[in-house]
Amino acid sequence: MVLETRFFDYSRSLYLAFNQPVETSSLQKMLTISPALELNASLSSYGGEVYIDGKFKPESKYTLTIAAGLRSATGEATLQTPMVFTFFIPPLPPSAQFLTRSRYFPLNSRNFTLPMQVANCKTLQVRLEKFYENNLNPFDLDTYAAQKRLQTVAETELPLDLPKNEQINYALDLSCVLPERTPGVYWLSAAPGNDRYYDSNILILTDLAVQVTLDEQNRRAAVIIRSLASGQAVPDASISLLSFKNQLVAEGRSGPQGEAILDYLPAYKTDANDYVQSVIAKTQNDISFYQLQSAHPLTSFDNRGEIHPKGLQAFVYTERGVCRPGENIQASVFVRQRNGGVSAPLSHCPCEITLLDPNGTELSRQRLTLDQNGYASLPLALVDSASTGAYTVTCGLPQGKGFLAWGSTTFLVANYVPDRIKVNLQPSHSEARSSDRLSYKVAANYYFGPPVTEGKYALLLRTTPAPPPPHWEGYQVGDPDAFIGCDSNAPVWQDLPPDLTLHWDGFQSSGGSSLNPVLVVATASITDPGGRAVSANASTIVHPSEFYLGLRKQNADRDNPAAKNARIELTLLGPRPDSSIPAGERRFLKKLSAIEWNYVLKKNAQGGYSREWSRSQRPIRQTEVQVLTGLSGCLDYPDLPDGCYELVVESEDQLCRSRLEFWHFAGEAGSRSADPAVLSLKTDRETYLPGELAGISFESPAEGWVFLVCGEYSLDQVLSFPVKAGSNSVTMPIPAAVLTGSYFAGLTLVCQQPDYSRSFALLRLSVEQQPQHLLKVSLEVPAIATPGATIDYRLKVHSPAGQPRPAAVHLFAVDEGILALTDYQTPDIFAFFHGQYYCHFQFSDIYDQIYPDLKIGADGTIGGGADNVRNSKLQRLSQGAPAIVNLGLLTVPPSGSLDGTLTLPEHLGALRLMAIASNPEAVGRGEAQIIQRDVISVTGTAPRAVAPLDEFEMTFTLFNHALPGGPATLKVTLPENWSRLSADSFTTVLDQGGSQSYRVKCQIPATAAGNFLVGYEFSLGTARKKGQLPLTVRPLHPPLTTVSRGSVNPGENKTICSALGQSWPRLDAARLRVLSSPLLGVEQALLWLNDYPYGCLEQITAGAFPFLAGDDLLRAGLISQEEKNQARQKLQRSITRILSLQTGNGQFTMWPGGYRPWAEASIFASHFLFLANAQQLCSLPWQTAVALQENLERCANDRNRPRAERGYALLVSS
Contact status, residue 816 vs residue 921, Cβ threshold 8 Å: no
Give dist(CA 785, CA 905) in Å, integer: 11
Distance of CA 1019 to CAs 255, 917, 1023, Å?
A: 86, 44, 6
For the domain made up of 772-823+882-932, give the CATH fold. Answer: Immunoglobulin-like (2.60.40)
Which of 1167, 1174, 1110, 1111 has the alpha carbon at shortest distance from 1138?
1167
pLDDT tens across 441-492, in order? 999 988 888 888 888 898 888 899 998 888 888 889 998 888 998 988 777 8
The region of weakest confidence among 99-108, 183-192, 1121-1130 is 1121-1130
Statement: residue 672 has pLDDT above 80: no
Statement: residue 89 has pLDDT above 50: yes
Check residue 1019 and give its pLDDT. 94
Identity at 609, one-letter amino acid code: Y
Which of 1000, 998, 999, 980 has the alpha carbon at shortest distance from 988?
998
Statement: residue 559 has pLDDT above 70: no
For 310-401, strand residue ranges (E) read 313-318, 322-323, 328-339, 342-345, 350-356, 362-369, 375-381, 389-399
What CATH homologous superfamily does 306-413 map to? Macroglobulin (MG2) domain (2.60.40.1930)
β-strand pairing of 123-131 with 150-159:
antiparallel
| DSSP per residue, 869-932 | PP-TTSPPPP-PPP-EEEEEEEEE-TTSEEEEEEEPPS-SEEEEEEEEEE-SS-EEEEEEEEEE
Distance of CA 1041 to CAs 630, 1061, 1084, Å?
A: 81, 14, 11
Give dist(CA 686, CA 764) in Å, integer: 10
Check residue 1072 and give its pLDDT. 74
Cβ contacts of residue 1053 below 8 Å, gap of 6+?
A: none
Whole-number percent of the chain with pLDDT over 90: 37
Statement: residue 498 has pLDDT above 90: no
What CATH homologous superfamily does 681-768 map to? Macroglobulin (MG2) domain (2.60.40.1930)
For the domain made up of 548-664, give the CATH fold. Answer: Immunoglobulin-like (2.60.40)
Distance of CA 225 to CAs 107, 115, 185, 748, 834, Å?
A: 15, 28, 17, 13, 34
Instruction: State the CB neighbour count (10 A cutoff) for residue 93.
Output: 16
| DSSP per residue, 329-350 | EEEEEEEEEEETTEEEE--S-E
Q: How confident is the model at residue 167 (pLDDT cuts 50, 70, 90)?
A: confident
Instruction: State the CB neighbour count (10 A cutoff) for residue 249.
Output: 23
Q: Is 1130 helix (H, G, I), strand (E, B) or coil?
A: helix
pLDDT tens across 921-936, in order? 999 999 999 999 999 9
Q: What is the mean pLDDT of residues 785-810?
A: 94
Highest mean predicted confidence (pLDDT) among 409-413, 871-875, 1005-1009, 1120-1124 = 409-413
Contact status, residue 75 vs residue 94, Cβ threshold 8 Å: no
Cβ contacts of residue 762 below 8 Å, gap of 6+?
A: 296, 298, 301, 302, 303, 744, 745, 746, 747, 839, 843
β-strand pairing of 923-932 with 774-780:
parallel
Q: Is 1194 helix (H, G, I), strand (E, B) or coil?
A: helix
Whole-number percent of the chain with pLDDT over 70: 88
CATH number of this structure's domain 1082-1213, picked from the four choices 1.10.1740.10, 1.20.1250.20, 3.50.30.30, 1.50.10.20: 1.50.10.20
Check residue 880 and give its pLDDT. 64
Contact status, residue 226 vs residue 235, Cβ threshold 8 Å: no
State phi, psi for 1051 to the nearest 5 degrees.
75, 5
Cβ contacts of residue 1102 below 8 Å, gap of 6+?
A: 1089, 1092, 1164
Q: What is the mean pLDDT of residues 412-433?
A: 87
pLDDT tens across 31-87, in order? 888 888 777 766 554 557 788 888 888 888 989 888 888 888 777 778 888 888 888
Assess if CATH 2.60.40.1220 describes domain 2-89: yes
Give dist(CA 779, CA 33) in Å, integer: 86
pLDDT tens across 858-884, in order? 555 554 433 333 233 333 445 567 889
Q: What is the mean pLDDT of residues 613-642?
A: 80
Statement: residue 852 has pLDDT above 60: yes
Contact status, residue 526 vs residue 456, Cβ threshold 8 Å: yes
Q: How confident is the model at residue 1159 (pLDDT cuts 50, 70, 90)?
A: confident
More confident residue, 655 or 1178: 655
State phi, psi for 1194 to the nearest 5 degrees.
-60, -45
Check residue 1096 and give its pLDDT. 81
CATH of region 208-291: 2.60.40
Which of 493, 511, 498 has the alpha carbon at shortest distance from 441?
498
Statement: residue 377 has pLDDT above 90: yes
Q: How confident is the model at residue 230 (pLDDT cuts 50, 70, 90)?
A: confident
For 936-1009, strand residue ranges (E) read 936-941, 945-946, 951-960, 966-973, 979-980, 985-990, 995-1003
Q: Between helices 1082-1090 and 1097-1104, what is the axis angle to 10°? A: 140
β-strand pairing of 1010-1020 with 966-973:
antiparallel
Distance of CA 104 to CAs 101, 204, 287, 295, 652, Å?
A: 10, 5, 11, 17, 55
Q: How confident is the model at residue 681 (pLDDT cuts 50, 70, 90)?
A: confident
Assess if CATH 1.10.3470.10 describes domain 936-1033: no
The region of weakest confidence among 941-945, 976-980, 1084-1088 is 1084-1088
Check residue 873 and give its pLDDT. 30
pLDDT tens across 316-327, in order? 999 999 998 889
Q: Do the first three CATH levels of 95-206 and 1082-1213 match, i.e. the same topology?
A: no
Check residue 339 and give its pLDDT. 81
Distance of CA 1203 to CAs 760, 996, 1166, 1200, 1206, Å?
A: 51, 79, 18, 9, 5
Which helix (DSSP H) or strand (DSSP E) does residue 764 occupy? strand 757-767
The region of weakest confidence among 1-15, 80-94, 208-222, 936-950 is 1-15
Q: What is the mean pLDDT of residues 520-535?
A: 87
CATH of region 95-206: 2.60.40.2550
500 - beta bridge partners? 442
Which of 188, 202, 104 has the alpha carbon at shortest distance from 152?
188
Statement: residue 953 has pLDDT above 80: yes
Instruction: Please report, for the chain, the start and end positions of each structural domain, with discontinuous segments joined by +.
Output: 2-89, 95-206, 208-291, 306-413, 421-543, 548-664, 681-768, 772-823+882-932, 936-1033, 1082-1213
Alpha carbon of residue 38 to chain centroid: 42
Q: How confident is the model at residue 257 (pLDDT cuts 50, 70, 90)?
A: very high
Mean pLDDT of the chain: 84
pLDDT tens across 92-145, in order? 888 898 888 788 999 988 889 998 889 888 999 999 999 999 989 888 887 777
Check residue 1144 and give its pLDDT. 63
Give dist(CA 923, CA 901) in Å, integer: 24
More confident residue, 1129 or 543: 543
The region of weakest confidence among 292-296, 578-582, 1063-1067 is 1063-1067
As its CATH architecture, domain 421-543 has Sandwich (2.60)
Give dist(CA 1100, CA 1169) in Å, integer: 12
Give dist(CA 574, CA 38) in Å, integer: 58
Check residue 896 and give its pLDDT. 94
Give the helix, strand, coil percentages of the chain, each rounded to 5: 10, 45, 40
β-strand pairing of 328-339 with 313-318:
antiparallel
